[in-house]
Amino acid sequence: MNFFTPIYCKQSVAFWVALAIVVGLVGLSQATEQDMLQLPVSSPHLCLSCHTITSPSPGDADLNPFGLDFLENGRVWDSNLAQLNSDGDACLNGVELGDSDGDGQPDGNVDEQSGNPGVADECGSSNLVDEKTWDALKAMFDGN
Ligand SMILES: [Ca+2]
Ligand SMILES: [Ca+2]
């Protein structure tokens, strides 16, 4: 039986290395998809909402400023993250992601991001629904 052991071991090492790579790729892809599901609206920026490239991979998955804040927030979308302005442009993360109060439900009939929360971009095209929601939110805080 010892005669076969070296060959078996070589195959085994190659197998486990290959398996680790596959599991790593699948793991990252699942993590990214699960993280994306946390966002109230993920289109059109998709992976670019958090990453610096369109197709992040295990060796190349740098995060943009919003991705870093999302990570620091425990990979959870909530009101704290909604009220930050990760990229420092004119809009809060909640406005850019179409969920001003960060409750996970898109504002009104919003179905697309108004801007990328991780890139300083044109995000001032907020519609009437966004402004109404934001005014209602401010009124809630002013009342307390
Ligand atoms: Ca912003
Ligand atoms: Ca932005």
DSSP-derived 3-state class of residue 117: coil
The length of the chain in residues reads 144
Taking the CA of 84 as reference, the closest ligand is 1
The two tokens of residue 64 are 């943009």
Which ligand neighbours the alpha carbon of 115 most closely?
A: 2
Question: Token pair 């070296």 is at which residue?
Answer: 6
More confident residue, 139 or 62: 62
* pLDDT band with cut points at 50, 70 and 90 for residue 43: very high
Using an 8 Å Cβ cutoff, are 142 and 134 in contact? no
Q: For all residues of the chain together, what is the average pLDDT?
A: 84
Name the closest ligand to CA 48.
2
Give me ligand 1 centre to Cα 39, in Å. 15
Residue 20 sits at φ, ψ, to 5 deg, of: -60, -40
* Tens-digit pLDDT profile for residues 73-99: 999 999 999 999 999 999 999 999 999
* Token pair belonging to 28: 């990252």
Nearest ligand by distance to the CA of 113: 2
Give residue-wise pLDDT tens across range 114-128.
Answer: 999 999 998 865 554
d(CA 75, CA 87): 17
What's the gap in Å between 91 CA and the centre of ligand 1?
4
Q: How far does the centroid of ligand 2 lie from the alpha carbon of residue 42, in Å?
A: 13
- Interatomic CA distance for residues 65 and 51, integer angstroms: 9
Q: Which has the minimum average pLDDT: 6-20, 44-58, 119-133?
A: 6-20
Q: How far is the CA of 14 from the centre of ligand 2 (A)?
A: 44
Spatial separation of the C-alpha atoms in residues 99 and 78, rounded to whole Å: 9
